[in-house]
Amino acid sequence: MISFEQVRVGDELPPLTVPINRVDLIRYAGASGDFNPIHWDEAFATAVGLPDVIAHGMLTMALAGRVLTDWAGDPAAVVEYSVRFTRPVAVPAVAGTTLAVSGKVTAKTEDGGIGVDLAVSVAGQTVLARARALLRLPTADLDRP
């Protein structure tokens, strides 16, 4: 696990790419209880003006957040996480889609906080804007016996 002292403003988190397919949407619908037809019925989704079936916003946000938890090594290190949804994530039936996520440390606070901004896109288009997180990482002092 990374410690507070090891982190520098400007550090980049290892990028993450996450494939999303229709089966993922079905699984998420079952887990979340969100069975809105825009997430599984292509005819309905296009009839209401969407380009295709779309991924659940919270699924997209959660998948993007994996870059934070993978880097920190502990999901509990993420104490704040917010995004602005900018465009739907269309999930074509056969090919699916791929979410691309990168992150950069933007701040270190005196009280031990680490600010991280994320860039989240599909096919080069931003799908989550103002994706920001605050993490609390262990200090080296806590790792000593």
Measure the CA angle with vertex 31, ends 70 and 61; round to 5°: 40
From residue 38, alpha-carbon distances to 43, 58, 113 in Å are: 9, 14, 38
Q: What is the pTM of this model?
A: 0.91
Better pLDDT: 140 or 88 = 88
- What CATH class has 4-20+56-143? alpha beta
Q: What was the pLDDT predicted at 142?
A: 52
| Residue 143 scores a pLDDT above 50 | no
Measure the CA angle with vertex 89, ends 15 and 54; round to 5°: 140
**Residue type at position 106:** T
Residue 30's SS3 state is helix
